Structure 1
Amino acid sequence: MAKVQKLVVDAGPLLTQSRDELKSAAEELYTTPEVLSEIKDETARQRLALWREELHIQSPSADAIKFVSAFAKKTGDATVLSAPDIGIIALTYDLHSKEGLKSAPQVFDPTMKVVEHQGHSQQTEEQTEEQAEEQPDQEESEKPEDDEWAVVKPKQKGRRKPAPKKIVPKEPEVEAAKEKKPETNDEEEDDDDSDWSDDGWITTENLKEQLEKDSAEMRPIDKPVSAALASRDFAVQNVCLQIGMDVINDNGLRVTQLKTFMQRCHACFHLLPMPKEGSSKQFCPRCGGHTLTRVTVTIGNGEIHVHLKANMQWKTRGDRYSLPNPQSRRARRAQHDDKVEYYAEDQPEYAKAVKLQQRKQRQNEKLIADWVGPSTGDSGASPFVGKRNMTSRVKIGRGRNANAS
């Protein structure tokens, strides 16, 4: 298996992988100052200090950060990426050769046919087939003989049956039973238990084999790679793969699976692409409800395949009670409840809140872009990305804790 020349490492591999495991996959190791600031564990920092000189700490260029941020908005991953995540992708973009990289993700054609696939297990398929075979027999047995009327018999409350008495056999019968008991019974039981425990169970011995068997999207590195990224974050992996850069997992295998996201209305099943500005919509443009969800889609044979969750249930928290009567602003202030709840896209207060949120986001991005720190050392981390600064959105309704007073 070929080695990676320059490997950009995220915080996850630095915490779980040793120095020898990382050096076996790459010749040079790189990371960003923001990633080092995320490692808070004292034991991990002491272990990292032993081979700190072999780890190149470098900040990405401003052009790379700008390109990755714009690309992540087009793929729909900008809402779940933090500033350190964008930083390691941008550093990989700086170190990677620009040949074969994409400037924009794949665009969906609205005229394509939409095919939905709902995830389900093999056991569910077998159960439905068995139920389909048994259904005609059940219909014949449950069919009424005379007419459509049925007599419902009330349940009769009977007395509890006394517990059965234990019958103790006599001593001669017990001795005879011991004589008839075969000697190999214990061995057969042990064999059955060993066979049952070995099949289908994941142990420490076969963990690596099961991971390689189940991950069909992983492939070994069979050609020289100039630069790659090692991260456990699926959004980070997806953006890198969409750009055309290489991503490897903890076992040193190359990740090849691509994912693209779209928004789908749970009420009217309307499908719309992620907006280019990065802020995903919160209300459906067709029915107007707050029922948009992010789904994974793939393109094949001129069709858009939508992959839905198995047994997905819509959360109805907060729908039990009616909304309170509207009050004036002065009355809300008297009750120390001056917060306005948003329930429609054309609500003037909602449009004002969206503009305010976008202005805060632009100011935050400007502060991060204007920060210029040293290229090495912990002090190079920007003070504006100390926390995971994800793209927040305006809260619709009462939020998660809807029944709170």
Structure 2
Amino acid sequence: MPKAQVLIVDTNAFIQSSNLQDIGEKIVTCTDVLEEVKNKRQLRRLAVVPYDIQVLEPFPENIKFVTEFSKKTGDYRSLSATDIKIIALTYQLEKEKVGSDHLATEPKQQKEICATKKSVINLTSIPGFYYPKSKNADEDSGSNSDVETENEVCEKLADLKCNEEESKIDQVQGETSDENKASDENEPTEEFQDAVDSNFVVDMSEEGCEGSDNNSADDDDDFEDDDSSNEDYEVDDEGWITPENIIEMKRKMGGELIEDKPVVVGCLTMDFAMQNVLKQIGLNLVTIDGYVIKQLRTFIFRCYSCFKTTSIMTKIFCPNCGNKTLKKVAVSLDENGKQVIHINFRRRLTGKGKKHSIPTPKGGKHVVRPITVADQPMPKQHASKLSKTKNNPLDPDYIAGYSPFVMRDVNSKSAMLGIYSNRFINDPRYMKQVSKVSESSKRRRRRK
């Protein structure tokens, strides 16, 4: 694959210490990516890389576009702030270098043709309850029973043939047992031996459903000579993966799906959520080891208590029943334009947050209560009076007090929680951080 003119790099490329000079001519990243590299060995390697790394920051309008686009595809909750910046930077450089005519503004629903219409698990079959079948269900079951796949037909034919062979063998064994009783010799008769040999000959051709046409075979034809068997065990040089044929082998296995065309702007990432958003926008995707998504998917939320769906991926509670039972599922369109939901029934539902009872509500200035409903009123988090005091030593009416260069208000609880007079983030994710900080502050006070 030819080199990309501009290559936007994610943190995974620096962690794996890949040779980016062989993939792109100009390496671009953002500040947050470099800050995510924490290992000393990786930092030392990053300081002596044989290429220049250009650090750029995306524009706010591009970040807003990527955020809204990822919400529509359902990948917003799987992306971090750094991931959104990398996608926005790729989108920004693509518009500058190539243009925005070929880029999508909204995700497209992927169409999928279902081979079978049989459901994996019947959700109405509950032990101890009887559900009568409707007329429509009987018609559907009748139509489904008529349509059988080729594998099912082959299995039925194989079972019938095995039953016929077993019946023939039983008849021959019955006849031979009567003859053996009359004779003192315990050797099987020639008639029984011929029947067993003819019934156990297997045709090892590619057609699995067809049986053998030969009714009898000699011992010389069934077993090969020792010389021919030794030749089969000899090691063949063909089929090995070498540096010369690794590209061709990857293409045969379907691991490398990138076309050999010149790439102006490309993004190198291993995150599947980022790859999905990049592909749906229409941006070029570059990988190191061939870990590329083969199918684009759009995700929605499905409630496993009321079985309703919602396309608003920022919801935490179900809009219909109000429970915190939303599960992310993939969705596509079938050949008739009907929405098909792909549910992984093997994945068990987590019991996190459902085992233990809710703690007793506590009062206080900066109390953090668990969020149980969507419309739960949140307490106002006010800053301390000391942080609200304005300190302007250049004011002509300035009254001497504390020194303007002394750090003040660092021991109050509002300062520890990051609550200031001019800003406050009212977000459930932030509330989790607040609870952690409050616990650490309590421990410090106990130690004192």
Q: If the TM-score is normalised by the length of the shorter chain, which range does it land in?
A: 0.5 to 0.7
Q: In the alignment, is residue 305 of structure 1 matched against residue 306 of structure 2?
A: no
Give the conservation status (yes or no) of the 8 Å contact 2:109–2:332: no
Deviation for aligned residue 1:240? 1.1
Deviation for aligned residue 1:89? 0.9
Q: In the alignment, is residue 266 of structure 1 matched against residue 304 of structure 2?
A: yes
Deviation for aligned residue 1:339? 3.0
Give the conservation status (yes or no) of the 8 Å contact 2:109–2:298: no
Alignment of 1:218-229 (within 5 A): 218-229=256-267
Q: Equivalents in 2 of 1:259, 1:34: separation in Å?
A: 28
Per the alignment, residue 237 of structure 1 pairs with 275
Give the conservation status (yes or no) of the 8 Å contact 1:118–1:308: no
Q: Which one of the candidate residues 58, 61, 68 is aligned to 1:60?
A: 58
Q: Which one of the candidate residues 74, 78, 95 is aligned to 2:93?
A: 95
Q: Equivalents in 1 of 2:288, 2:370: separation in Å?
A: 47
Deviation for aligned residue 1:66? 2.3
Counterpart code for 2:78: V
In the superposition, relative to structure 1, how do residues 117 and 64 fare at CA in structure 2: closer, same or farther (>3 Å)? farther
Per the alignment, residue 4 of structure 2 pairs with 4
Once the two structures are superposed, residues 200-254 of structure 1 have per-residue CA deviations (whole angstroms, 9 ceiling, x without a partner) of xx9x9x99998766655x4133222210100111111111111110112213687
In the superposition, relative to structure 1, how do residues 99 and 318 fare at CA in structure 2: closer, same or farther (>3 Å)? closer
Deviation for aligned residue 1:108? 6.2
Give the conservation status (yes or no) of the 8 Å contact 2:104–2:282: no
Alignment of 1:22-171 (within 5 A): 22-51=20-49, 53-96=51-94, 97-106=98-107
Q: Equivalents in 2 of 1:9, 1:83: separation in Å?
A: 15
Structure 1 gap ranges (5+): 121-128, 134-187, 358-388, 397-405
- SS of residue matched to 1:225: coil
In the superposition, relative to structure 1, how do residues 282 and 88 fare at CA in structure 2: closer, same or farther (>3 Å)? same
Give the conservation status (yes or no) of the 8 Å contact 1:240–1:246: yes
Per the alignment, residue 315 of structure 2 pairs with 280
- SS of residue matched to 1:222: coil
In the superposition, relative to structure 1, how do residues 40 and 210 fare at CA in structure 2: closer, same or farther (>3 Å)? farther
Counterpart code for 1:37: E
Per the alignment, residue 372 of structure 2 pairs with 342
TM-score (norm 2): 0.50
Per the alignment, residue 16 of structure 1 pairs with 16
- SS of residue matched to 2:264: strand
Q: Equivalents in 2 of 1:263, 1:247: separation in Å?
A: 27
Deviation for aligned residue 1:8? 0.6
Q: Equivalents in 2 of 1:296, 1:28: separation in Å?
A: 36
Q: Equivalents in 2 of 1:117, 1:51: separation in Å?
A: 55
Q: Equivalents in 1 of 2:283, 2:368: separation in Å?
A: 49
TM-score (norm 1): 0.54
Deviation for aligned residue 1:35? 0.5
Per the alignment, residue 383 of structure 1 pairs with none
Give the conservation status (yes or no) of the 8 Å contact 1:6–1:26: yes
Q: Which one of the candidate residues 308, 311, 315 is aligned to 2:350?
A: 315
* Alpha-carbon RMSD: 5.0
Which 10-residue stretch deviates more, 75-84 or 248-257? 248-257
- SS of residue matched to 1:219: coil
Give the conservation status (yes or no) of the 8 Å contact 2:251–2:257: no
Deviation for aligned residue 1:303? 2.7
Deviation for aligned residue 1:63? 2.5
Greater fraction of residues in strand: 1
Higher relative contact order (CA 8 A, sep 6+): 1
Give the conservation status (yes or no) of the 8 Å contact 2:107–2:281: no
Once the two structures are superposed, residues 296-323 of structure 1 have per-residue CA deviations (whole angstroms, 9 ceiling, x without a partner) of 12234213232222413223456567x5
Give the conservation status (yes or no) of the 8 Å contact 1:25–1:252: no
Q: Equivalents in 2 of 1:29, 1:235: separation in Å?
A: 22
Deviation for aligned residue 1:28? 1.7
| Structure exhibiting the larger radius of gyration computed from Cα positions | 2
Counterpart code for 1:219: L
In the superposition, relative to structure 1, how do residues 313 and 6 fare at CA in structure 2: closer, same or farther (>3 Å)? same
Structure 1 vs Structure 2: percent identity of aligned residues? Answer: 30
Counterpart code for 2:369: K
Give the conservation status (yes or no) of the 8 Å contact 1:265–1:291: yes
Give the conservation status (yes or no) of the 8 Å contact 2:333–2:339: yes
Deviation for aligned residue 1:39? 0.6
Structure 2 gap ranges (5+): 122-151, 157-228, 382-424, 433-448
Per the alignment, residue 288 of structure 2 pairs with 250
Q: Equivalents in 1 of 2:38, 2:117: separation in Å?
A: 43
- SS of residue matched to 2:331: strand
Counterpart code for 2:283: M
Q: Equivalents in 2 of 1:312, 1:253: separation in Å?
A: 23
Give the conservation status (yes or no) of the 8 Å contact 1:2–1:221: no
Q: Equivalents in 1 of 2:353, 2:21: separation in Å?
A: 52
Give the conservation status (yes or no) of the 8 Å contact 2:302–2:308: yes
In the superposition, relative to structure 1, how do residues 103 and 69 fare at CA in structure 2: closer, same or farther (>3 Å)? same
Deviation for aligned residue 1:29? 1.4
Give the conservation status (yes or no) of the 8 Å contact 1:284–1:291: no
- SS of residue matched to 1:105: coil
Once the two structures are superposed, residues 173-197 of structure 1 have per-residue CA deviations (whole angstroms, 9 ceiling, x without a partner) of xxxxxxxxxxxxxxx9xx99x99xx
